[in-house]
Amino acid sequence: MRILVTGVSGFIGSHLAERLVADGHSVLGVDSFLDFYPREIKENNMKALLGKPGFEFIEGDLSGLDLGELLSGVEGIYHQAAIAGVRTSWGGRFSEYVRNNISCTQLLLEAAKDKNLKKFVYASSSSVYGDAEAFPTREDVQLRPVSPYGVTKLAGENLATLYYKGYGVPVVSLRYFTVYGPRQRPDMAFH
C-alpha cells in the first residue's frame, strides 16, 4: 500500500514511517522542518529512512504543495504534521498553530475527499480533554481544551469528522497522551 506520512521527520512520524517501510509499504514522507526544535534533530530522525527502497521524501509545507498530485496513488494517510506544545501556543505564535494545525489539516482533507483512500489517520492530542474531572477519563466526556494548542487539535478532529460525514473520508482520530521514547522532542519533560 502507498502511504503518505506528514510530519515524517518528527518523533512519531519517523518511527511510523520506519515501521511501514519495514512492513513492505511504500511511504511518501512530507515535512517542512518547522523551527519548533533544531532541524538537525529532525534530519537525524530520518537517517534510517533516506535512501531506503520504499521511501520517498518531499520537503515542503502542505499549504504550498499540489496536494491532488501528492495524493496520486496514495491509499492511506497518517497526518502527523503539526506544531506541538501547549506552553508555546499562547500569545503571538497562535496564528502559526492555526495555519499548521487547522488550515493545513483542512487542505489535506479537502484533497483527500476525491481520492479512494482506505484510511486517513489524524494525530490529535489528549489536550482536547483539558482538565479532566474524573479518572479514568471517558472518551465521550465533553471536550474542554484549556490551551490554544488543544483548541487547534480539537478543530482538526472536528474537521476530520465533517469530512467523514460529508464526503466519506475514512478518518480516525488518535488522541496521543504524552508519547515518549527514543528520538522524542527535546522539549518533553521525560528524558
The C-alpha cell at 99 is 495555519
Label residue 103 left, alpha or beta by phi (over 0 means left) and psi (-120 to 50 means alpha). alpha
Tell me which DSSP letter residue 7 carries.
Answer: T
Mean pLDDT by 10 residues, the chain (191 residues): 97 96 99 89 94 97 97 98 92 95 99 97 96 86 95 99 98 89 64 57
Distance, CA of 40 to CA of 26 (rounded, Å) = 25
pLDDT in tens, 114-160: 999 999 999 999 999 999 888 888 888 999 999 999 999 999 999 99
For each of the domains in the chain, give its residue range(s) and CATH number, in order of start.
Answer: 2-176 (3.40.50.720)
The pTM assigned to this predicted structure is 0.94
The C-alpha cell 481520492 sits at 115
C-beta of residue 117 within 8 angstroms of C-beta of residue 53: no
The burial of 16, by beta-carbon neighbours within 10 Å (0-12 exposed, 13-18 middle, 19 or more buried), is given as buried
C-alpha cell at 87: 506552553
Q: Is 149 a catalytic residue?
A: yes
Active-site annotation holder among 97, 122, 129, 149: 149
Q: What is the DSSP string of 94-114?
A: HHHHIIIIIIHHHHHHHHHTT
